Structure 1
Amino acid sequence: MCSLALFPPPLPSGQTTLCESNNELLSGTTTEDQLKQESSPLSLYFPRESLKLHSRTESSSKAAFLDHSETLWMRSAAAWRDGGLTGLLNEITTSHTEVPKWLSMSSGCILALLQKVSSFHGSLFPHLTLSSEDMIAEFSQVLNWSDCVVRAFAWHPHTDKFAVALLDDSIKIYNPKSATTPTLKHRLQRSVAAVQWKPLCASALAVACQNCLLVWHVDPCSLSTRPSSGCAQVLSHPGHSPVTSIAWSPSGSLLVSASPMDTAMMVWDVASESCVPLQRVGGGGVSFLSWSPDGSHVLASTPSALFRVWETRMWTCERWPCVKGRCQSGCWSPDGSRLLFTVQGEMVIYALTFTDTPAGVPTSTSQGPQAAAVVADLSETTFNTPDGDIIVGGEIQSLAWDSTGERLAVLLKGDPHAADRPAIIAVFKTRTSPIFELLPCGFVQGERGAEPRLMQFHPSFQHGALLTVCWSSGRITHVPFYFLSAGVPHCGLSGSPSLPRPQTVPADFANQSLFTELMS
């Protein structure tokens, strides 16, 4: 089994990972090397102080404009709209001078009963007691989402265009072939948890927000830098907020969304703005979604110690219980036959293998994987570096697998309170056919003091794999992994940084054992 003990040691402080060439991760220490990487047309920097944050929350500003001359019925209607049954009962109870005494007392008793039931429900599912922002931060794939400058990132599946959601709730769209950088803003675009481009479409971008889903339609040929809010469809369903995860089907015909507050996963037909809830008992909500590249399965994690894998022909699901905690993250192999996932509180990567259902056999009678196999151990490992001992490993925040199936990136949480336990990205070399194999590649590190917060592979990089990393400093960089072992590959239009001079790698890491399905 592959473990961090087989990895080369992390880079000394001051060095940054530039690229992989000839099966070696190359680093740079000089300002010139770093400038080469940062001068890429797709590398960006967002200083925290340049973002204008909201001076007051929506709830706090509401009181400043509240018309206190509203009638009881108007206030009751507003309370029902904003807070549902609980809000209505609370309004009637507090308006005891305007309603009959029996109605006020009855409302108070019912409200107290509902609060006791809610408290009991919250003891079963503690996440239900969190605020919307805290809930998004808890289940986001972004490390330390609440304080992160870049809160979401998404490459377009077919071009070099990408979208960046920032701390101030704005979304910027970058294309190196265009001088225009559209900025998307909407009054409902609050606490953005995820963004994702629609496949086989140049203009549609789905955005997971605090109270709804937005689907922006941004004409790539438009010269407007501030598209109108009329370009965004608003998709919402009662009780389905905050939205923490979204996923398009590979054909772009369907969009699924998840909320930890809702036990149903919503399957949207965006064109008709209608949805079908897929609901199962247990789990306390849905926190994370991932649609397999072949379109056959959808991973649906819950806030509890179980997750489900839906098959999309008959929309039936398999229930997978976890031992310690919830399924934190997951990713699919390019052919959709293998799912890698991690569990909160554990330091390993699991794998599930799915096989195609034979023709003529009903989906409901076909058997999926019987057990999950451990394929990598990421327990804490101590490395000796020129800066002293560094401990790498522990819990996993997120996984990313490139579209060729040859590089797997793992974002390790680290310990924010310990300087010798930094958050770091570990990259594995992988092979899915004819057997599944894992081999250590190395660690991806940024500038001094910067830690990775979010990562994603370019879905159509032509020279291997391109890993985009969003750092705690507000910088976005791109690390290319060139798979060719001979010659120096040329930089393409995707803006890959230039290759630095080759470096030697210790012979200890030249030949390492790897995980394979043939091993017992």
Structure 2
Amino acid sequence: MCSVSQSLIPPDDGEIAVCERNGHIIYVTDQSIIDSYMEGQVSTFPYIIISSESLRRTPAIVGETAKSAFLEQKETTAQRFKTAWYNLGVAGVLGEICSEESNQIVYPLVQNICQYLLIGMRWIRGMNFTLFPHLKLSQEALIAEFSMNREWSTSPIRFLSWHPKAHKLAIALLDDTIKIHYTNIPLVPILKHKLQKYVTCVEWKPLSASILAVGSQTAILIWTVEPSSFSTRPSAGAVQVLSYSGHSPVTSLAWSPTGDDVLVAVSALNTAIVVWNTSMAEYQVIQHVTTCGGVSRVLWSPDGSKVLAATPSSSFRIFETGLWTNERWSNLAGRVQCACWNPKGTTLLFALTGDSHIYCVKFSNSQSIDSPSASAHATVVLDLKYFDESADSDSERQSQELTKANCIHSMVWDETGQRVAIMFHKDDPRQHLIALFSTSEDPSFSITAKGFLQGKEGVSPVFIAFKLNFDMGACLTVCWSNGSVSYIPMYIPDVNSITSDFRFKAPNPYGANSSMLGSTNPDRSGLWSSMAEGSVFASRTTLN
């Protein structure tokens, strides 16, 4: 097991990580020479910086006019309630009454009553049989709680998504617009829609040059952005709106990696895992994950054979996409905060809230349609606990107690399977750093600390993602708190290209086996084991 506190030394103040070369992270103190380290493909990446002053939150009301494009408008109380009613109905109005903006105009007693009514509505609509703390959060606070962006509520950039093959990326901004940036092309299409409010996630469809899925407060928007078009504002005809009752907000989306028109959508306030056929605008609920408070995130394995479904409770499920049977892992130390698959879909890394460890689950190479075929237990492969060696014993104990709380916020694995980047929680003393590790699975899984990545002085990372289809190794894209985007290439020699020719093809969930979806017959169990002292045991159950 690797321990970061024992193997990594943070960079000095003012040192900026620009790249990794020959296995070493290179830092510079002169910002003017950063561009000299950007070689080949990286030199064509778009320059992006979004200032908070350039963004304005416009009300997503029905009667948007040309006037709203020029004059800054502040929503009145009546407008806020009108917008809430239009978007979410009674639940939206109750949520607006309970919001901080209504504290001065609504009596505390009325707010308390409305909060309990809102919890009751969410409990019934989401088919939850247990009360969970997140049910009482406002829509905005709920999205921020489960977002992979550490500062979702205030960050100028809320989400970033690279296209799997084409050299372009989409960024979701604080004002709920989405911009498409190309390499070597100055054209920047802007996507905006009245239902595109509180954007939670943005996902490009694999093996398609133009289709982009956007998760928002009340719906899923499927945009078609033609690469050959010279229009900067696609028309309303370029978007398809999908919605499922109770999926509000849509907290996570995942396309089938095989290029099918299959999109999985979940909501942290609803127990239904919904599979959409986007070409037909049809859906099927493959599972109601009851007693978990909802489903906060879905993550499809790159080989298309498995789907991770994380929940707000101390459990998660692994679905196989043949018959959509699943294995349930429960009694964890906390909910799944972040997770990532290796390129072959045979290894899953995940972290929990309230825990400083990274856990690993291994899967067999066989693409069985009977079960996910996971190993009998998960093991601890990394310890990110923070120790302040300069403090006295009392302060050190307090620091250790702090890091037993939220320590890890997000984690990404590049498509070569050789680099893992981890961003810390905003309350962690290392929140201005990104930890970088090298990984290997020959002959068994191992993870080795490489170093810390640091940006310009005074800024912190809020969102991280690896660029896909990078031909020189791996390239980490970092969104910073000041609205800038930087690229940190990792020049890895002799990188084996990852093929997209998957032998396994995820079946259409609307086919002959559709009647078998959602059955829950347990047939075996396993035992959670950990290399970490004082860890909590958890059970795994396979459900058909």
| TM-score > 0.5 by shorter chain | yes
Whether 2:284 is the aligned partner of 1:276: answer yes
Of residues 135, 139, 150 in structure 2, which corresponds to 1:132?
A: 139
Give the Å deviation of 1:158.
0.2
Look up the match of 2:78. Answer: 63
Per-residue CA distance 1:328-369 (angstroms, 9 max, x = gap): 11100100001000111100000111114487xx715x7432
1:394-433 per-residue CA deviation (whole Å, 9 max, x = no partner) reads 61111100000000011111427xxx54342101000123
Alignment of 1:462-473 (within 5 A): 462-473=471-482
Q: What amino acid is the match of 2:361? A: L
Q: Distance in 1 between matches of 2:116 and 2:147?
A: 33
Per-residue deviation at 1:85?
13
Separation of aligned partners in 2, 1:16 and 1:379: 24
Shift of 1:128: 1.1
Q: Distance in 2 between matches of 1:202 and 1:338?
A: 29
Is it true that 1:436 corresponds to 2:445 in the alignment?
yes
**CA positional deviation for 1:295:** 0.3
Q: Secondary structure at the match of 1:484?
A: coil
CA deviation string 1:424-483 (max 9, x = no partner): 210100012321111111111100011011011111110110000000011100000011
Please report the TM-score for the alignment, with normalisation by the length of structure 2.
Answer: 0.75
Is 1:370 the equivalent of 2:383?
Answer: no
Change (3 A) 1:449 1:435: same
Moved more, 306-315 or 421-430: 421-430
Matches within 5 A, 1:152-167: 152-167=159-174
1:42 aligns with 2:46: yes
What residue in structure 2 maps to residue 379 of structure 1? 385
Aligned AA (1:335) = K
Superimposed CA distance per residue, residues 207-226 of structure 1 (whole angstroms, 9 cap, x where no aligned partner): 01011000100000000011
Hey, what's the Cα distance between the residues in 2 that align with 1:24 and 1:249?
36
Give the structure 2 partner of residue 200 of structure 1. Answer: 207
| One-letter amino acid matched to 1:175 | Y
CA contact (8 A) 2:91 2:118 kept: no
Aligned length: 446
Output aligned runs, 1:313-462, within 5 Å: 313-357=322-366, 363-364=370-371, 367-382=373-388, 395-415=407-427, 421-462=430-471
Distance 2:116 2:163 in 1: 49
SS at 1:146 equivalent: coil
Work out the CA distance in 2 between the residues paired with 1:81 and 1:323.
Answer: 33
Which whole-Å CA distance do the structure 2 matches of 1:53 and 1:284 have between them?
30
Q: Cα offset for 1:37?
A: 6.6
- State the identity %: 40
What whole-Å deviation, never above 9, does each CA across 1:359-401 have from its counterpart, x for those lacking one? 7xx715x7432111101000013478xxxx9999761111100
Q: Are the structure 2 counterparts of residues 65 and 398 from structure 1 closer, same or farther at C-alpha, using a change threshold of 3 Å? A: closer
Post-superposition Cα deviations, 1:121-165, rounded to whole Å, max 9, x if no partner, equal 797211111111111000011102111111010000002100011
User: CA separation in 1, counterparts of 2:196 and 2:274?
Assistant: 19
- Contact 1:10–1:383 (8 Å) recurs in 2: no
Which has the bigger relative contact order, CA under 8 A and spacing at least 6?
Answer: 1
Q: Residue in 1 aligned with 2:178?
A: 171
Per the alignment, residue 18 of structure 1 pairs with 18
Q: Deviations over 1:269-297 (max 9, x none)?
A: 00011111122322110001110000010
Using structure 1 for the length normalisation, give the TM-score. Answer: 0.78
- Which residue number in structure 2 is paired with residue 489 of structure 1? none
Equivalent of 1:301, from 273, 292, 310? 310
Q: Compute the RMSD of aligned alpha carbons.
A: 3.4
Q: Could you tell me whether the CA contact under 8 Å between 2:91 and 2:121 is conserved in 1?
A: no
Cα 1:270–1:285 change in 2 (3 A) is same
Aligned mates of 1:304, 1:263 — CA distance in 2? 11
**Cα distance change, pair 51–118 in 1 and its aligned pair in 2 (3 A):** closer
Cα deviation per residue 1:170-191 (whole Å; 9 max; x = unaligned)? 1100111322110111111111
Instruction: State which drifts further: 38-47 or 257-266.
Output: 38-47
Task: Find the partner of 2:271 among 248, 259, 263.
Answer: 263
The answer to whether 1:482 aligns with 2:486 is no
Q: Is the alpha carbon distance of 1:166 and 1:369 closer, same or farther for their aligned partners in structure 2, counting shifts above 3 Å? A: same
Q: Which residue identity lines up with residue 295 of structure 2 in the other structure?
A: V
**Alpha-carbon distance in 1 for matches of 2:285, 2:493:** 46
> What corresponds to 2:99 in structure 1?
none
Deviations 1:461-516 (A, max 9, x none): 1011000000001110000001129xxxxxxxxxxxxxxxxxxxxxxxxxxxxxxx
